[in-house]
Chains A and B, each alone.
Chain A
């Protein structure tokens, strides 16, 4: 089995060959690692790699897995999977192109209304999460065509709060 696994910006090809019930050999670059494993619970695996024991803790993410080892959290992604799935929408400068919260929050105030013309980076919604206030801004210039949240609403990442239609270049 071949995998291409990405951590941060580094993609490393890994080939594995199973070896009985609870063992395998992993080939990464020039190195060969002998691996055996014991499942401790739904989220914990005890790995023996080249004779050394490691407790790893795992959780599923929408686009990979979080692996915790010795207090550090690694987001490991399958580069092949990532290439096959539709890429999460990103605009210029890697900025999100939707007005949506980064974390579950409460709407403090909506600064625009339907029909308003907005400029890029104009403040549109103020949110509060864990006593911190955050202001979301318009990802591009355009017209507000829908307000999908009101003061006091609890909102989650993925929810569009303000719908903005991008203005077409008028020259």
Chain B
């Protein structure tokens, strides 16, 4: 096992990786930018290296500085977390060149699977079902139109170098297709410098089912069951769960085998996720491989009892997998809600600022992977994820109730969070029935407003707080007296 690891990330994921390292007795090095000098991942690491200015290019995305920090501290391996440099093939290659172990797949695999068309070709060769469509990029509108006619509308025009929803167009009929190709290509060229496009069948009511995989350096590959991530907003996941209500044991087994085949076809090593699209006829198709540890990995850990970060370290250290496929067993049900610093009533606008007070939910089957604390100033420079609230229970109903209770117990003052929105989603009939598809939010919550059943209590609370003057004198902007006098408690009186 490594003696010292550098974690090239911040926030909740850096802390989560640190946790496993500490349990294993591995020394940890954190890296941070100026605005993160009091961040929790810095406070909990054995050593910390300041990278410089807040801007990601100067800090968490700066390959030279991170490699230097690893060398200066004598770290043997680097864990990239998710986001930032996690799927950056150049970074992975640099680590390899500098004698550092990159805790993830080889650079070439990251490169292959990062290109959507190459990934499709690998999967076709590997016998993994892919979405009907093209396996090479095309510029000739005649060819594109021909393929569209063959596979049937609606179709999806996608940018080969794409991501984040850019360079994508849904086409529902033949007369829209030429224009869609031109516009998608133009958008892709502007966003990624590469205007090549291809075409796939589009499914209106589809589910996003992903399988966790683990692959060691000796050719052993297993899957660690699935996660369903269909509740998304602007292509960003907000609620994930396992097992998926849509899968029965037979389908699970089939998809699991396909995920393992996909990993083998790509020569995958370490932890990764194979994403599938499940249509409403229970047919599944390869979507993409995420060549990193994912945000929602905790739900898998809760039902299987496997520490995925521990597995990542063992694999990276060259050990063969210690778990066989037959030993992967899921028990109960787990749900995760992502808690972002966003205001659900202002179209989820980011809400950075100081966390004046925080109280985390706790209890049996409750896990909060949290990157912030009471008094922490949430910077505006990075992804606004604050924590991942995860629950585990014997079955889905109990898990739902446990998550609702936990959300109600989660207090964050000073910034806004989507907790009220999450409560509404989890309470909704379609969610309870598992009738969740990728258009869930647009369909059921287009004009959401928070439920406010306790207005009377809130008013009483206001008055009591006002009378007590608890925080007065500390903000300086209101009455200075800390002793409550009748002149204050009398309130508004009229002659």
Report if A69 contacts B (CB, 8 A): yes
> B359 at interface (Cβ–Cβ under 8 A)?
yes
| CB neighbours of B455 from chain A (8 A) | 7, 10, 12, 74
Q: Which of A8, A12, A58, A130 contacts B380 (CB 8 A)?
A: A130
Q: Interface SS of chain A: helix, strand, loop or mixed?
A: strand
A71 and B380 contact, Cβ closer than 8 Å, known pairs A45-B465, A57-B357? no
A149 within 8 A of B: no
Which residue of chain B lies nearest to A13 when distances are taken between CB atoms in the complex? B459
Q: Residues of A contacting B464 with CB < 8 Å?
A: 24, 35, 37, 45, 47
Q: Tell me which of A1, A18, A60 contacts B493 (CB under 8 A).
A: A1
Mark each residue of chain A from 30 to 52: 1 if its CB lies under 8 Å from any CB of chain B, else 0: 01010101010111110101000
Complex interface bits, B431-461 against A, C-beta within 8 A gives 1, otherwise 0: 0000000000000000000111111111111
Q: A56-B457, A57-B411, A105-B380 are in contact. Are A39 and B471 (CB under 8 A)?
A: no
Asked if A16 is at the interface of the complex by the 8 Å CB criterion, the answer is yes
Query: Cβ of B349 and Cβ of A103 under 8 Å apart?
Result: yes
Chain A, residue nearest B385 (CB): A130
The answer, among B383, B454, B491, for a CB contact under 8 Å with A54, is B454
Chain B contacts of A56 at CB under 8 A?
Answer: 457-458, 461
> B450 touching A72 by the CB < 8 A rule?
yes
How far is it, in angstroms, between the C-alpha of A8 and the C-alpha of B467 when the chains are bound?
23
A73 in contact (CB, < 8 A): yes
- Closest A residue to B406 by beta carbon equals A71
Does chain B have a CB within 8 A of A129? Answer: yes
CA distance A56 to B491 in the complex (A): 21
Cα distance, A18 to B346, chains bound together (Å) = 38
Q: Known contacts A1-B492, A70-B408, A103-B352; is A58 also within 8 Å of B460 by CB?
A: no
Instruction: Say yes or no for A59: interface residue by CB 8 A criterion.
Output: yes
Picked from A44, A67, A105, A130, the residue with its CB within 8 Å of the CB of B383 is A130
Contact with A59, one of B414, B420, B423, B460 (Cβ below 8 angstroms): B414
Q: Which residues of B lie under 8 Å from residue A154 when comparing CB positions?
A: 380
- B147 an interface residue at 8 Å Cβ cutoff? no
Residue of chain B at shortest CB distance from A31: B456
What count of chain B residues pass the 8 Å CB interface test? 57
- Determine whether B332 belongs to the interface, using a CB cutoff of 8 Å to chain A: no
A73 touches B454 (CB 8 A): no
Partner of B420, one of A5, A62, A73: A73
In the complex, the answer to whether A54 meets B457 with C-beta atoms within 8 Å is: yes
Which A59-85 residues sit within 8 Å CB-CB of chain B?
59-60, 62, 64-74, 76, 78, 80
B192 at the interface (CB under 8 A from A): no
Contacts of A169 in B (CB 8 A): none
Tell whether, in the assembled complex, residue B457 and residue A49 are in contact, meaning their CB atoms are under 8 Å apart.
yes
Q: Compute how far the CA of A41 lies from the CA of B468 in the bound complex, rounded to whole angstroms.
A: 12
| Cβ A69 vs Cβ B420 within 8 A | no
Across the interface, which residues of B come within 8 angstroms of A35, CB to CB?
460, 464
- Bound together, the chains give a CA A8 to CA B459 distance in angstroms of 12
CA distance A1 to B493 in the complex (A): 7
Q: Which residue of A2, A67, A80 is within 8 Å of B458 (Cβ)?
A: A67
B489 within 8 A of A: yes
Q: Do B471 and A129 have beta carbons less than 8 Å apart?
A: no
Interface check B13, CB cutoff 8 A:
no
Indicate if the CB atoms of B350 and A130 lie closer than 8 Å. Answer: yes
- Given A70-B454, A73-B420, decide whether A1 and B461 contact each other with a Cβ distance below 8 A: no
Type the 1/0 row for B451-495, where 1 means its CB is closer than 8 Å to any CB of A. Answer: 111111111111111111011001101100000000001111110
Do residues B383 and A131 form an inter-chain contact, with CB atoms below 8 A?
yes
* Distance in angstroms between the alpha carbons of A105 and B54 in the assembled complex: 13
CA distance A3 to B451 in the complex (A): 24
Q: Indicate whether B416 reaches chain A with its CB closer than 8 angstroms.
A: yes
Residue in B357, B452, B471 whose beta carbon sits within 8 Å of that of A8 in the complex: B452
B380 lies within 8 A of A59 (CB): no
Q: Which residues of B contact A80 (CB under 8 A)?
A: 492
Which of B408, B477, B493 has the most chain A CB atoms inside 10 A of its CB?
A: B408
Residues of B within 8 A of A111 (CB): none
Bound Cα distance from A108 to B108, whole angstroms:
35
CB atoms of A59 and B356 under 8 A apart: yes
Residue in contact with B456 in the complex, picked from A28, A103, A106, CB distance below 8 Å? A28
Complexed CA–CA distance, A64 and B357 (Å): 17
Contact (A130, B341) CB under 8 Å given A74-B452, A74-B454: yes
Given A43-B413, A59-B414, does the pair A104, B380 have CB atoms closer than 8 Å?
Answer: yes
CB-CB nearest in chain A for B411 = A57
Alpha-carbon distance between A71 and B337 when the two chains are bound, in angstroms: 14
CA separation between A128 and B452, bound complex, in Å? 32
Contact B352 A58 (CB under 8 A): no
Min distance, Cβ B339 to any Cβ of chain A, angstroms: 11
- Can you list 5 A-B pairs, Cβ within 8 angstroms, ordered by A? A42-B470, A49-B460, A65-B462, A72-B420, A130-B380
13 A-B pairs besides A72-B452, A76-B459 with CB distance below 8 A are A2-B491, A14-B459, A24-B467, A41-B357, A45-B465, A47-B461, A54-B454, A67-B462, A72-B454, A78-B462, A103-B352, A103-B380, A106-B380
**Which residue numbers of A lie inside 8 Å of B, CB to CB?**
1-3, 5, 7-8, 10, 12, 14, 16, 18, 24, 26, 28, 31, 33, 35, 37, 39, 41-45, 47, 49, 54, 56-60, 62, 64-74, 76, 78, 80, 102-106, 129-132, 154
Pick the 6 closest A-B CB pairs, nearest first: A130-B350, A1-B491, A74-B458, A71-B408, A56-B461, A59-B413
